[in-house]
Chains A and B, each alone.
Chain A
């Protein structure tokens, strides 16, 4: 059933993507966690300076990082290209099926911040871009990660296609309720067109795949199969100030 829904969603997105032709491509996309990345993993991309991104993603309860099997994780976020090479993100995660107190209808909410610094921009030769990031550094650290990641873009000799490969490591430096990135992770992003990309990644726990379509140069719509079988996704709007 999930595969059928995913196929329908992909078909709809491809049809709707037609107006995106000719618009400027974005640099990097939002991951399901709100920061720039693939699906669950970060890349060395950071939002362009003086740019912000707002978005919403739903992560199915089956592979949610918190309250797994109990509640979907609804992620609302805003990210800023706060400085050249610096991306800051503020995020609220709503656990709609779980209340904090008994006898109330109000869902639990977790709030967190993230920061990523591009340490080394991508070089012309083999040198990849390198970034370091820290997610959820305060409080309960339910979505914590501390990581180093590299990304390299490879143009393909087929039309406008590009291949971007990323790899990194999540360090267990801080105690946390949950580490999203725990050990090695990585993935590839295949750009079929400037507005259409497909992704395959290993997020240090499982394999995921997905697609991203960009409309009008600003609106990105994401659909992902977590563990290659569970549909999740959402949308984000990227805008310069």
Chain B
């Protein structure tokens, strides 16, 4: 029988939005002397800004929640930070996520300016850049005061969810469409709280599902582990009716071209039906080790994974993915002891390119829309869907990606100029 499944998004009700937004902090630029670049970045809406200076080097940590595309945010932040700096001083830009430094990008301030204002091309700038990944990423001083801190600020969004299955005998095209209001907030370094509900628009899969159900409700953490390893963990209610905990660790090697990851999850089944709550104890687990090679020059990611999957089968997974700017296309195959499946994942950017300045409570759109297609609806190679994983923590800022897409640094500057 031909069967398949497309799946995107997750499910669940908004419960804690008021609680999340209650602690919203006002946009704040600390009083007292601040480097001009820190003031400029904070005034533009970049958060968690820290600037340290030595005679020959200026290092800027910042967090972008203004631009949907992180490369556009990096270009804008570098443009502001480089303004007025002596050309020979080295400017190190360190984008962060939830206060966690992701990667360092260093070049002479004059070189940043010459590239960002269009006087020089990407090839010229690439030869003058130095990218510091994982083990080399500079971290802000422990006592640094962050300008415009992001803590407790809550983003509210409506996430479109769409699933469909192809090839089921009695209905080869089944689908469901849901709207998922969600609130997301980071109260402290590395921590992310997500509260999400799902409101049913149309559902052909399960007639017993209530009109409103809990969605992805998680407490997540991301941060640095010893020896430059990056860690991510999540606990709570996950997609596909799973609850439990999941964790990953990973590190980039060889100038960011090699990415090693390991992780696992422990979960149970939890489903809200119209008249009953179905659940199972939290005793299902999966674990994996994976290696990714990112081919410089073409943004090709080849990942080989060995795993023990949730269906208690050992197996492997091969992913061949390509990034086209903000779009990612991934073809995969999974082979377990007694089954195999192939499929495709596509993640596309959604409007809009730029959001309003972060504030205590902000309405914004979701940045991307993922679609997953598997040729079979059967449980083959399943793991808990960890949304706040290492990929999301890194915001896609892999050294190879940065070097391959330097022209995109000017995107934010172009849209700014067009806006003016």
Can you name the residue of chain A whose Cβ is closest to the Cβ of B1? A100
A109–B166 CB distance below 8 A: yes
Q: With a CB–CB cut-off of 8 A, which chain A residues contact B322?
A: 80, 82-83
Tell me if A104 counts as interface (CB < 8 A to partner B): yes
Query: A111 contacts which of B166, B171, B325 (Cβ < 8 Å)?
Result: B166
Judge whether A50 and B166 touch: CB under 8 Å: no
Within 8 A of A (CB), among B337-359: 342, 344
Q: Are A50 and B324 in contact (CB under 8 A)?
A: yes
A-B CB contact pairs (8 Å), 24 listed = A50-B324, A82-B322, A82-B329, A83-B300, A83-B322, A84-B298, A92-B166, A100-B169, A100-B170, A100-B172, A101-B170, A104-B170, A104-B171, A106-B170, A106-B171, A106-B173, A109-B173, A111-B2, A111-B166, A111-B375, A138-B342, A241-B324, A241-B325, A241-B327
CB-CB nearest in chain B for A105: B171
Known: A80-B322, A138-B375. 7 other contacts (CB 8 A): A82-B322, A83-B300, A106-B171, A109-B173, A110-B2, A111-B166, A140-B2
Contacts of B171 in A (CB 8 A): 104, 106
Interface residue B4 (Cβ < 8 Å from any Cβ of A): yes
Q: Give the distance in Å from the alpha carbon of A138 to the alpha carbon of B344 in the complex.
A: 15
The answer to whether B167 has its CB under 8 Å from any CB of chain A is: yes
Say whether A109 contacts B167, CB under 8 Å.
yes
Contact B329–A109 (Cβ < 8 Å): no
- The number of chain A residues with a CB under 8 A from chain B is 23
Total number of B residues with any Cβ neighbor in A under 8 Å:
21
Using Cβ atoms and an 8 Å threshold, which residues of chain A touch B173? Answer: 106, 109
| Residues in chain B near residue A110, CB distance under 8 A | 2
- Give the residues in chain A near B373, CB-CB below 8 Å: 90
Residues of B with Cβ closer than 8 Å to A? 2, 4, 166-167, 169-173, 298, 300, 322, 324-325, 327, 329, 331, 342, 344, 373, 375
Task: Please report the C-alpha to C-alpha distance between residue A138 and residue B170 in the assembled complex, in whole angstroms.
Answer: 23
What's the Cα separation between A72 and B167 when bound, in Å?
18
How would residues 102 to 146 of chain A score, 1 for a CB under 8 Å from any chain B CB and 0 otherwise? 001011111101000000000000000000000000111000000
Among residues of A, the one whose C-beta sits closest to the C-beta of B329 is A80
Query: Nearest Cβ in chain B — how far from A54, in angstroms?
Result: 12
Contact of A88 among B4, B172, B300, B331 (CB under 8 A): B331
- Distance (Å) between the CB of B368 and the closest chain A CB? 14
Chain B minimum-CB-distance residue to A50: B324
User: What residue of chain A has the Cβ atom nearest to residue B299's Cβ?
Assistant: A50
Shortest Cβ distance from residue B51 to the other chain A in the assembled complex, whole angstroms: 35
What residues of A have a CB within 8 angstroms of the CB of B329 in the complex?
80, 82
In the complex, which residues 26-72 of chain A have their Cβ closer than 8 Å to any Cβ of chain B?
A: 49-50
* Bound-complex Cα distance A102 to B4 (A): 21
